[in-house]
Homo-oligomer: A and B are copies of this chain.
Amino acid sequence: MDSLEEFRHYRERMNTRILSSQNIGIKRFFALDSRAYEKGALDPKTKELLGLVASTVLRCNDCVTYHIIRCVQEAVSDDELLEALNVALIVGGSITIPHIRRAIDVLDQCREKQKKHEPVEI
């Protein structure tokens, strides 16, 4: 299983690479993507939970990893995360289970960091 650090570095390196390209459409999409989770009528915590459930039912491990980290940063509790993942499991079925395993695995790694007073970074 990829470590969170490996994930973060690859993600960061490739995003920098993609945004250095000349394609204006892709750059603007990345900007819109960031803004969609900013505070508005809904708070960032709710929006990250929406992103997590969407990522889980669409079965994207990298996206699940990202949103679990963001949820931890937004102080979502374990019970709240499990209820959100339960909605994803019911909507998306057993095919989402490998991604729910991944979500819990990442969550455990984040909680471990918090216990050691290490930052949980994306």
Chain A residues in contact with chain B, CB under 8 A?
1, 10-11, 14-15, 17-18, 21-23, 25-26, 28-29, 32-33, 35-37, 40-42, 46-47, 49-51, 53-55, 57-60, 62-63, 77-80, 82-98, 100-101, 104-105, 108
Question: Nearest chain-B residue to A81 (Cβ)?
Answer: B41
Q: Which of B41, B54, B100 contacts A83 (CB 8 A)?
A: B41
A15 proximity list for chain B (CB < 8 A): 101
Query: Are A23's CB and B82's CB within 8 A?
Result: yes
By DSSP majority rule, is chain A's interface helix, strand, loop, or mixed?
helix
Q: Which 10 A-B pairs have the closest CB atoms?
A: A93-B93, A41-B79, A14-B101, A23-B82, A62-B98, A25-B86, A54-B91, A36-B90, A92-B93, A41-B80
